[in-house]
Amino acid sequence: MYYLKCEHCGHLNEVKSEYLVFCAGCSKKIENNFASWSRKNAGKTLEDFKKLVCINDEQAALLEKETTRKKIPLGIKILAGYMAALAILLALLMLADDIFSGLRNIFHF
Ligand SMILES: [Zn+2]
């Protein structure tokens, strides 16, 4: 089986016929479709297109693995959120300290 990867959403569309133009994942036009490819590659068949442009089962499985590996675990996401909140809190505290010492200089307390 061969797949054509959508450049908009990354969905792998199974190439069942030469008429695959729109992505099943996002309904957008796949620019690298067979019709436009064969215009640039006169005389080439759908089989050539599959071999040269499309992704086969093996590559699709690899691609799938890569995307799962790249996914950031939820725990790290939450931790990153806490860190960001802490950084904002620290910045605010420093700002408050600045304002406080500024006021102290004005009012001498
Ligand atoms: Zn898509």
**Distance in Å, CA 36 to ligand 1 centroid:** 17
**Distance in Å, CA 42 to ligand 1 centroid:** 26
* Residues constituting the chain: 109
Split at pLDDT 50, 70, 90, the class of 107 is: confident
**Distance in Å, CA 35 to ligand 1 centroid:** 17
With H, G, I as helix, E, B as strand and everything else as coil, classify residue 5.
strand
Count Cβ atoms within 10 A of the Cβ of residue 30 and give its class: 0-12 exposed, 13-18 middle, 19 or more buried.
buried
pLDDT mean over 25-48: 96
Distance CA 33, CA 5 (A): 10
Between residues 108 and 38, the one the model is more confident about: 38
Centre a 10 Å sphere on the Cβ of residue 96 and count the other Cβ atoms it contains: 10
pLDDT at 101 over 80: yes
84: enclosing H helix or E strand: helix 74-107
Query: 52 — phi, psi (to 5°)?
Result: -90, -35
